[in-house]
Structure 1
C-alpha cells in the first residue's frame, strides 16, 4: 500500500497546487514512485490526455513534476463553470452534463465517491506515495456534509493532513486557528502539521508567531515557504491572473514585443500563453478594458467556456470595437479555440449547448460560422502548418502538436484557407483541416490549445512580429518551454525542500530510512 499525504488549505488559492507539485518532484528526486491526486477540481484550465480524457491542468502539472504521463484518474471529477452557478460536470475525463450548484451538491457529488475510491485503490497498488490536494477549505459548514474533496478523502485514503495558509494575504494565523476549531475532533486529529506559504520578510521576526501557533494548536509548523518570483510554475486557474494582470505596457518594455491577451469572463486554458511569457523579448499583458488595448504588436483572443456570452461581453464593454479598430490599423489578431470562433461572422447555439442566447454575431474578421453541438471533441493532435500569409507562409510544412477541447464545429466560407493540416488525432493517422487564416495572413485562428508550446513555431511567429517592427529576428527561441519547466520544477523542489522539515514529513507519512535514501516502512 502506498503512503499518503494530503494538503488542505485554510482557503482557496493558498498555494496547495504548487506545493503538491513541489512534493511530487521532491519524492521523485528521492527515488519514489509518486502520483498526484485531487478528487474534485473546479477549473477552466484543463488538458486532454493521450486517450482523449479531460482533466484539470493543475494535476497535469503535478504529474509532470512526478515524471508521469497525465491520467484522468489523477482528477476523477472536474467541474468547468459555465456561468450562472452552473458547471459542466466531467467524470473520469468525459462530460456528464451541465448542472446547477444545488443539483450537483444535493443530488450528484456524493454518488461519485465510488469512482474516487476506485482511483485511490488503483494508485495504492501502483505507486509508493500519493500526494493528495484538497479543494478550497475543509470547513465550509454549509457544504461540509457533502464535501468530496477534503476530509472525506483524507479518511478514505488514510492520509495525514498538512494545513496550508497563505501569509501574504494577511490573517493567516487566525485562519489556521479558526480552521482547526471548526473541524470535528477526529478531523483535527488527522491534521499532522502546518505549512506557512508565500512568506516575505525576515523569518526571525516571524518565529514568535510560529511558536504561538504551535502552542495554541498543538500542531507542529513543518516550515515556512518563501514567496518566490524568479521562476514560474503553471497556475491552477484564472484567479492567478489577478497577480499577473498588466493593463498597460511598462515604460521599461521598449525593446519587447507588446502582446495583449484579452481576459474574457469565461477564459479557459490561459496557460496556453505561459510559453510566450517566458520569452525575453515579450511583454505579455492581460486586458479587460478597451482603453488599455492600445496598438500592441499582437492581440490574442483565448479559449472560452462560454463563447457566445464572452462575445457579448466584448461588445458590451467596447473591446470588440477596440480589437477591430486595432486590426484596421495593422495589428494582427490570433484566436485560440473559443477565441477562434469569435473571429468569425456568426456563432450559433440552437440546442443551447453553451448558452441560452441562441445566435450571436462574431467579430467578422474571418469568413466563417460556428455551430455548437452537444458532442465534445477532446483529443491530442499532430499537425503541419499549411496556411499562407505573413504568419504562416514561410513555415509551411512545420510540424506542431496540441490538443482540442471544444463543442463547436466551424465552417469556412468562400476561399478562406485553413491554417493547419491534421496528420494524427488521438495517436491515429488522419487527414483533416484545422483553423483558418485570412488572405493577408494577419488574422489567424485555430482549435489547437498548446500551439505556443511548440518552440520553433512560437519563435517564428515572434520573429514575424519583430521584422514588422524593423527588428532583427532571433535565431532560436530564448527558452525551450519543456526544458524551462523542468528547471523550474527542480528550483521549486529546492526551495520547498529547504523550507520544510523533511525528516518530520517523512516520519508523519510513515516512511523511514532504508536501503535507498528512504524506504516505505
Structure 2
C-alpha cells in the first residue's frame, strides 16, 4: 500500500540508497490555512491540527508516532539521521516538541546544529541556539556545521576558534555554497528561478508562487533545461512575456483561488491563455483551471462549499474525504510518462476535454494530476515543443536527462561533504552517541 511522505525525505532516502517508507516521515504537517494544518501520520491522512495544538499539548499522539517510527528504523538500520524541522530552540513550543530536541531526548541522539551562513549572524545563531536550551538538551548538542559559505574559509578561523572556546563545542565543517547543489525540497525558502544564459532566445516559463504552494519540485525538471528561463511569479506583471504559465500544486485550492483573484493574477492568467499561449496546471493548479471546485465533506473548509474555478478547462473537482495515492504510468503527446498522485480531488471532464495524464487538455491549456511527470524526459520535450509552437518560437533542442542530473547533484553533495566535513567524527557520534561532559551554557543551564 502506498503512503505519503515529504519530498525531502524521499530524496534523502534515494541518496542513501534506501527504499523510501512512511517511517522516514512519520508525521507530515501540510498547512491548510494560517491557523490549521492537514496531518498525515505514517503515510495516511489523519485529520487537521489547529495552531493552538502546538502549545496546548494536542500533539501527544503525533509524538508517539514519531518516537515509534524512530525506534522501528533504529532496529533495522545501523545509522539513522534525524533531520529536525525549524529551530531546535523554539522555546515557546519546547514542552510539546517531538521534531527537534524532543526526539533527540527520546533516543539520546547526538545533535549537530547546522547554521546557514548565507543569511548572516551565524556565530550568534549557533551560540544562542545552545545557550537558550535547557540543560538536558544542551547535553546532546555535540557540535556545529556551517553551510553555504562563500569565499576564503580561512577568514572564519578566528570566529570558529572563539565559538569553540565559548561553547565548548567544535565546528565539524564548513560546507561551501555551490550553484549546482539544489535538491528536492518542501521548504518555500528554496523557491528560486533558474535563469537561462541567453534569456532572449530562451522560452520563458512563469511559475505562480501560490501562498500554500506544494510539490513545487515538479518544475525542477524545467529548471535543468538550458533553453528555459524560469521565474516564480506573485504579481500579474510577472507573467508579461511568458510563453508558459504554470500553476503548481497547492495545499489549499479554494484559498489560493481567492488569492489569485485578489492579486489580479486570475485575470492575467486568463489573458495569457486567451492570447493562445500555453498554461499548465499540476494537481491543485489543474483543479483551479476548471469550472468549479466543490468540497462536500469539508476537506478544505466548510462542508458543502463551492468555488468557481478559472474556467479555462471544462472540468469539475469534488473533494473526497479519502486521499488518492497512486504511482501511475501512461502516455501523453506520443511519449511515455510517469508520476505520482496525492490528492483529495476527483475530477469530472466535459465531453470536449481531452484526457491528459489523468487530467485534461483543451487547446493550449493543459492540466495533469500527476506530480513528477515532467521528469519524463521525452514527454517534457514534447510539451515544450507544444509551448514553443503556441508562442511562435523554435522548440528547445537540448537533450538532458533529469535522472542523470539528479544523480550528479547527489554525487556532488556527497563529494562536498567528504571534502569539507569531519565525516569520521560525525560517524563516531552516530555510532557512539553524544560525548560526556559537554559544557552547559547559561541561561539554559539554570532551567
Q: Is the 8 A contact 2:336 2:378 kept in 1?
A: no
Matched with 1:11 is: none
Q: Given the superposition, is the C-alpha separation of residues 331 and 506 from structure 1 closer, same or farther in structure 2, using an over 3 Å criterion?
A: same
Pick from 492, 502, 507 the counterpart of residue 428 of structure 2.
507
Residues matched between the structures, number: 431
Pick from 262, 269, 273 the counterpart of residue 323 of structure 1.
269
Structure showing the higher strand proportion among its residues: 1
- What are the superposed Cα offsets for residues 86-131 of structure 1, whole Å, 9 maximum, x if unpaired? 0011110111111212135424322233322322222222211111
CA RMSD of aligned residues (A): 2.0
Matched with 2:202 is: 256
Distance 1:321 1:298 in 2: 15
Structure 2 residue 350 is matched with structure 1 residue 413: yes
Distance 1:109 1:77 in 2: 10
Cα distance, 1:472 vs. partner? Answer: 5.1
Structure 2 residue 401 is matched with structure 1 residue 480: yes
Cα distance, 1:259 vs. partner? Answer: 0.8
Q: Given the superposition, is the C-alpha separation of residues 331 and 364 from structure 1 closer, same or farther in structure 2, using an over 3 Å criterion?
A: same
Distance 2:263 2:429 in 1: 53
Pick from 60, 65, 70 the counterpart of residue 120 of structure 1.
70
Cα distance, 1:163 vs. partner? Answer: 1.1
Distance 2:340 2:431 in 1: 40
Cα distance, 1:399 vs. partner? Answer: 2.3
Pick from 452, 463, 475 the counterpart of residue 374 of structure 2.
452
Matched with 1:464 is: 386
Matched with 1:314 is: 260
Matched with 1:489 is: 410
Q: Is the 8 A contact 1:295 1:331 kept in 2?
A: no
Scaled by the length of structure 2, the TM-score of the pair is: 0.91
Cα distance, 1:506 vs. partner? Answer: 2.7
Structure 2 residue 317 is matched with structure 1 residue 370: yes
Distance 2:326 2:307 in 1: 27
Distance 2:265 2:62 in 1: 41
Pick from 282, 285, 301 the counterpart of residue 336 of structure 1.
282
Scaled by the length of structure 1, the TM-score of the pair is: 0.79
Q: Given the superposition, is the C-alpha separation of residues 322 and 219 from structure 1 closer, same or farther in structure 2, using an over 3 Å criterion?
A: same
Matched with 1:151 is: 101
Distance 2:305 2:126 in 1: 47
Q: Is the 8 A contact 1:467 1:473 kept in 2?
A: yes
Q: Given the superposition, is the C-alpha separation of residues 112 and 162 from structure 1 closer, same or farther in structure 2, using an over 3 Å criterion?
A: same
Distance 1:214 1:464 in 2: 57
Distance 2:264 2:64 in 1: 48
Q: Which runs of 5+ in 2 are unaligned?
A: 433-447
Equivalences for residues 22-37 of structure 1 within 5 A = none
Q: Which runs of 5+ in 1 are unaligned?
A: 1-50, 386-391, 421-433, 512-521
Cα distance, 1:300 vs. partner? Answer: 1.0
Matched with 2:150 is: 200
Cα distance, 1:84 vs. partner? Answer: 2.7
Q: Is the 8 A contact 1:343 1:363 kept in 2?
A: yes
